[in-house]
Structure 1
Amino acid sequence: MLARLISIFESSRLLQLFVITACIQGGVIISQFLITPWVDPSVVGVVRSLETVIALVVLAGSLGMQSIAIRDTAAYSDASCQSAVLRQVFLLVSLASGVVIFGIYIVHEFVLTSAISSYVFTTCGLVVLTNFLRVSTGFAQGAKAIREIYLVLMLVTAAGVVLHVILTKLYGVRGWMAARYLGELFCLIAVWWRLRAYILPALNFAAVDKKQLMITAKSGVTINASLFVRLLVDSLPVLMLTALHVRTEEIGFFGIAILSLVLGLLPLAIIAQRALPDLVEALGHPDELRKKYSSALKSMLKVSSAVALLLILISSAWWLFIGGAYKTTALYVMVLALTLPLKAIALACGTMLVALRVFGLSLKVNILEGLLVLILLYVGIPILEGWAGVMAYSAGAVLSAVLLLSAVKIRLAVL
């Protein structure tokens, strides 16, 4: 049986990609779920606030290089060209992460002195570790080398999840921070060891093409701005609940609900990452491009609908039969799960726009959604607390799905 399972994984790029994405994005999410029985809801609230800010600063330091690594690596079949892409990506991530860490230091020393800012300053090294890990796995996807890393990454991530639970139970938030460092470091070491044939040539920074580096940087800035605004919009409910001093327990309840949704989005992210190289390869054939986009969109809608139904069923069972401290969370999840198909549409359209090298449109749509969400939160939180976050998140999902779907339809029609 074990040998058969291994052979299935060895022959399926999609399953390998599922493992990689689940490890890179899902390990920390699952860890946050698993600590809930062992710590007070207030600790969960602090961890969610901290992780929300960490996600933003990590993304700021990425300069959009994970998407660039996948797209540009997939565009080349020559090993030397792929190494050149990875070299540029590593250099740009290093520079951007250094700027972000310096900015965190300035903010911590001269602007903010809260507990959260202190925690963020302590964990700012994750900007470098996490981004190197993400661009390395992105490169593996573009170079079709994911079979080299998926198994070892799965094992190291599983150990990291256990480490998160143990250290958080023993030392609270500080234990969580220590586990975050150790988990990312061990994963990065494992991935670089497996990809050493690609990594070592890419570390020759003297061979960087400065002109191409600037082109890559410009594309990365636009992509990263869009991704950053997207993440900021998704994070606004937790950030605003924290800023307006809503009870920490309430932040924890809403934070776990959002985590459920993020976990439900992982299969969609996997489909999008799998589809991007295929869309890039079909750019010169409009009919094939439309067919592949339609297939990816339909797959995302089917998966998102199934995941939404599953979340609703689980939340209903929790609310009816288990209850407890997180009964409110179950109600939040029931409503938020309905936005998953809308998120699927937006993600499919965003992937298509990246393949078409239309980077600015997603940024504009995300800004419009952010303004809507911010207004709804500012007005609603004093009255509705966590339910204001649910309302704002849902309204934003509707707006983005409609605008992006319309934009992609127009562009495909003129190809």
Structure 2
Amino acid sequence: MLARVVRTFQTSRLLQLFIVTACIQGGVIISQFLIAPFVEPGVVGVVRSLETVLALVVLGGSLGMQSIAIRDTAACEHRTTQQAVLRQVFLLVLLTSSIVMLGIYAVHELILTTAISYYVFLTCGLVLVTNLLRVTTGFAQGVKAIHEIYLPLMFVTALGIVVHVVLTCYFGVQGWMAARYLTELSCLMAVWWRMRGYVVPALHLTSVKSGELRATGFSGLTINASLFVRLLVDSLPILMMTALHVKTDEIGFFGLASLSLVLGLLPLAIIAQRAIPDLVEALRNPSALRVEFKSLMKMMVLVSSAVAIALMGAAGGWLLFVGGKYETAAHYVLLLALSLPLKAVTLACGTMLVALRVFGLSLKVNILEGVLVAVILYVGIPTVAGWAGVVAYFAGTMLSLVFLLSAVKMRVASLEGEWDDATG
């Protein structure tokens, strides 16, 4: 039995990719859940506010280089060109992360002097460390070397989760920040050690051609704009609650509920990432493309429904058998979980548009959704606090679903018309 499990891990690239993604993004999420029983809701609220802002600044410093690392290295046939790609993304991440870190320092010193801005200032080094970790794992995916890093990454992340809980219990938010640095640096060192044959030559940053660097930077900027707006929209409830001085306990309750959705979306994101090559291959045959899209949609809805049922079961069990100070968070989860199938359809449509090389539409829809969400939050937070976030989440998801699903249907119908004209 054990041998069969080991063979499954060794042969399944999807499972290995799931583990790597879960470690990089899920380790921090799981840690936030685990600290909740041991600290006050106010500490959870501060941690959620801090992590929400950190997610934005980390993405701002990435310049879309993780996607570039996956795409460009997968297109390279020789090891030297793969190392050249890694060298470019390393240099761009170093430059953009440094600019973001200087911006954080300037904002903290000249504009904001809140506790959250101080915590973000203290943890701004994570912008560089986290982005180096993500582009290296993206490079490993591009060169099909995920099998080299998933086990050490899983081991270090598990230790990091324990460190987060212990340090936060003893030292509060300061302990959380120390644990974040320790865990991210340990993960980066583990991955770099396993990928040292690629990483060490790529660290010769002076061997970069300026023209190629500019081209890579502009490509990453386009990708990053859409990702940043999407993350900003998802982060608006926490950001606006913090800006409107909602009690940190209430932010903690909604923060835990929103974390459950982030965790539930991880498998959906991995399924979507794996589906892109199949959709691209089917572009020349609209009938096959429609079949692939329906298959993707079906899988996304089934997985999201299963996750939603699991979340609702967990929240209901908490309310029935545990109760206590986090009952409000459980009520939020019961309702927010219902949005997961809707979110799955939206993500499937966005994946289809990427395969069709339609990039600008998703960015415009994300901006439109952000405006709607911001208005609902601004009006509702002073009256109903976290419940405004629930309403805004559903309204924004429905808006994106209608626009993106309509766009996909029109694009596929247009492709079928072009195909009929070409073969008619």
Q: Which band: TM-score by shorter chain?
A: over 0.9
CA contact (8 A) 1:71 1:355 kept: no
CA distance in 2: counterparts of 1:16 and 1:10, whole angstroms: 8
Deviation at residue 136 of structure 1 after TM alignment: 1.0
Distance 1:166 1:218, change over 3 A: same
Residue 169 of structure 1 corresponds to which residue in structure 2? 169
The aligned counterpart of 1:300 is 300
What is residue 249 of structure 2 aligned with on the other side?
249
Q: CA offset at residue 281 of structure 1? A: 5.5
- Cα 1:98–1:285 shift into 2, 3 Å: farther
Structure 1 residue 284, shift from structure 2 partner: 5.9
Q: Secondary structure at the match of 2:38?
A: coil
Residues 293 and 138 (structure 1 numbering): CA distance in 2 closer, same or farther, change over 3 Å? farther
Task: Give the deviation of 1:56 after TM superposition.
Answer: 0.5
SS at 1:414's partner residue?
Answer: helix
Report if the CA contact (8 A) 1:71-1:277 is conserved: no
Matched residue of 1:36: which SS? Answer: helix
Shift of residue 296 of structure 1?
Answer: 2.6
Deviation at 1:283, TM superposition (A): 5.5
Q: Mark the CA change 1:204 to 1:276 in structure 2 (over 3 Å): closer, same or farther.
A: farther
TM-score (norm 1): 0.95
Taking a change above 3 Å as real, the CA distance of residues 84 and 298 of structure 1, as seen in their structure-2 partners, is farther
Residues in 2 aligned to 1:177 and 1:348: alpha-carbon distance in whole angstroms? 35
Tell me the secondary structure at the aligned position of residue 76 of structure 2. Answer: coil
* Mapped partners of 1:73, 1:349: distance in 2: 26
Deviation at 1:279, TM superposition (A): 4.2
Aligned residue runs from structure 1 range 183-262, under 5 A:
183-262=183-262
> SS where residue 112 of structure 2 aligns?
coil
Cα offset for 1:153?
0.5
Residue 350 of structure 1 corresponds to which residue in structure 2? 350
Equivalent in the alignment of 2:22: 22
* 8 Å contact from structure 1 (residues 75, 280) kept in 2: no
Match of 2:62 in 1: 62
User: How far, CA to CA, are the matches of 1:351 and 1:80 in structure 2?
Assistant: 31
Give the structure 1 partner of residue 397 of structure 2.
397
Measure, in 2, the Cα distance between the counterparts of 1:77 and 1:278.
21
Task: Quote how far apart the aligned CAs of 1:318 are.
Answer: 1.4
Q: 1:60/1:151 Cα in 2 relative to 1: closer, same or farther (>3 Å)?
A: same
Q: Report the Cα distance in structure 1 between the residues aligned to 2:266 and 2:22, rounded to whole angstroms.
A: 7
What is the alpha-carbon distance in structure 2 between the residues aligned to residue 284 and residue 96 of structure 1?
A: 38
1:89 — aligned with what?
89
* Structure 1 residues 377 and 275, CA gap change in structure 2 (3 angstroms): same
Q: Check 1:355–1:212 CA distance in 2 against 1; reply closer, same or farther (3 A cut).
A: farther
In the TM superposition, structure 1's runs of 4+ consecutive aligned residues that sit over 6 Å from their partners are none
CA distance in 1, matches of 2:63, 2:354: 15
Identify the range of structure 1 (285-294 vs 118-127) with the bigger mean alpha-carbon deviation: 285-294
Task: Return the alpha-carbon distance in structure 2 between the equivalents of residues 84 and 404 of structure 1.
Answer: 36
Q: Residue 359 of structure 1 aligns to which amino acid in structure 2?
A: F
Cα distance, 1:57 vs structure 2: 0.4
Structure 1 residue 285 displacement after superposition = 6.0
Deviations 1:228-272 (A, max 9, x none): 111111111011111111111111100000011111111111212
- Residues 258 and 250 of structure 1: is their aligned pair in 2 closer, same or farther, counting only changes over 3 Å? same
AA at the equivalent of 1:206? T
Q: Is the 8 A contact 1:71 1:280 kept in 2?
A: no
Aligned residues: 415
Task: Give the equivalent residue in structure 1 for 2:53.
Answer: 53
Please report the RMSD computed on the Cα atoms of aligned residues, expressed in angstroms: 1.7
Distance 1:80 1:185, change over 3 A: same
Give the TM-score taking structure 2 as reference length: 0.93
